[in-house]
Amino acid sequence: MSAFEEHKEELEKFEQMFGRERGRLAVSLDRLTNALVLVGQHGVYCTSQRNPTVPAMDLRIINQELVHAKELVQSVMEELRLAKQKSTN
């Protein structure tokens, strides 16, 4: 099932609130946040053998990549917001 099918209702809601592009980005941010939560939960059980107080290295790398992806999506959303704001003034 595609993301458009699986998250149809959420996409419709956010696209109506923010417009098509920003709405889809908002749903993408929610998906990234959910992935971060899942990685964090998994990190509790899958710890580093060298240091059992931290998650395994692969989970830390995945977490960092998801954080970076969220930052990029958020920056695009802000740019779109500023562009819309300038066009209405």
Walking along the chain (89 residues) 10 residues at a time, the average pLDDT comes out as 94 95 95 95 89 92 96 95 88
User: Judging by beta carbons within 10 Å of its beta carbon (0-12, 13-18, 19+), is residue 48 exposed, middle or buried?
Assistant: middle
**Residues composing the chain:** 89
Structure tokens at 83: 């562009």
Q: Which amino acid is at 77?
A: M
Domain boundaries, the chain: 19-74
Q: pTM of the entire structure?
A: 0.85
- How far CA 79 is from CA of 49, 53, 59, 63, in Å, comes to 42, 39, 30, 25
| pLDDT of amino acid 60 | 94
| pLDDT of amino acid 89 | 76
Helical segments of 19-56, H only: 20-45
| pLDDT of amino acid 34 | 96
